[in-house]
Amino acid sequence: MTAPQISIEQVDPRIPPIVALVAALDSYMGELYPAESNHLTDLETLAGPDARFFAARVDGEYRGCGAILICGGYGEIKRIYVAPEARGLGLAGRMMRRLEDEARVLGLPLLRIETGIHQPDALRLFERAGFSKCGAFGDYSPDDPYSVFLEKQLAPQ
């Protein structure tokens, strides 16, 4: 069996295959959490000047994504997702490394993530990537029982 060809590239999140991938993510999140606990950054924001959006391809097909939203002094990781058919290939870990590399290029000293309590795989991914729990940040409510807040200090390159 041949190893799949995997690449991660910066893309416009408004292209049709990415719109479909993000719609699958939105559907998944809608099954896990109530609407008021889903903090889904829209594609226009992710296509804007204060964001960097990346997509992972497996054998030429978009199968994962992730973004950094630049938030005055730190970067917030948004829209990390791997399609079910591509899980187990290490895409999420590769995406996290790519986002961290981009944050360093941007000169961001800190990365933050808001995720949910019903996503143990995501929590393990972020923990393996060196993130630790922190308090609520940005516009997130510290009282949302579904939210988990994490951050990672970045050493300069």
**Mean pLDDT rounded to a whole number for the chain:** 95
3-state secondary structure of 144: coil
pLDDT at residue number 157: 59
DSSP 8-state class, residue 74: S
Task: Give residue-wise pLDDT tens across range 7-63.
Answer: 999 999 999 999 999 999 999 999 999 999 999 999 999 999 999 999 999 999 999
pLDDT above 80 for 1: no
User: How far does Cα 99 stand from its chain's mean position?
Assistant: 8
pLDDT tier at 3 (50, 70, 90 boundaries)? confident
- 2 contacts: CB under 8 Å, gap ≥ 6: none
The percentage of the chain sitting over the pLDDT mark of 70, rounded to a whole number, equals 99
Q: How many beta carbons lie within 10 A of that of residue 22, not counting itself?
A: 23
Q: How far is CA 71 from CA 68, 75, 76, in A?
A: 9, 6, 7
Q: Find, among 14, 22, 124, the residue nearest to 65 by Cα.
A: 22
Residue 89 per-residue DSSP state: S
Q: What is the CATH number of domain 6-153?
A: 3.40.630.30
**pLDDT digits 0-9 by tens, 100-114:** 999 999 999 999 999
Instruction: Say what the pTM is.
Output: 0.94
